[in-house]
Amino acid sequence: MAAPAIRSGLRFWREERGLTQTALAQSAGIRQDRMSRFENGDALPTLAEADAISKALQVTLADLYSDDLLRAMRAAAGAA
């Protein structure tokens, strides 16, 4: 089972960028079914896949995996 941080981070940043799983997968050069498995927590991306995803989302790897950043951004979005 994947770490919750990558699962929630991936979904958060994908939705924040207004991308579908398919669009993100294409941009990152990863099969859509594999992207779905990452987001659902059924698989962990390799370092190369995580790097490609972070570049496609225009975030750092640390941002992609950061629970603290996600909590802060969700709180800020809720307060807006």
Task: Report residue 42: phi and psi, to 5°.
Answer: -90, -10
Domains of the chain: 4-73 (1.10.260.40)
Threshold 0.95, pTM exceeds: no
Instruction: Inform me whether the pLDDT recorded for 72 exceeds 60.
Output: yes
Q: How far apart are CA 60 and CA 51, in angstroms?
A: 8
In angstroms, how far is CA 1 from the centroid of its own chain? 16
Dihedral sign, Cα of residue 20, residue 23, residue 24, residue 26: positive
Summarised one tens digit per residue, pLDDT across range 7-44 is 778 888 999 899 999 999 999 999 999 999 999 888 98
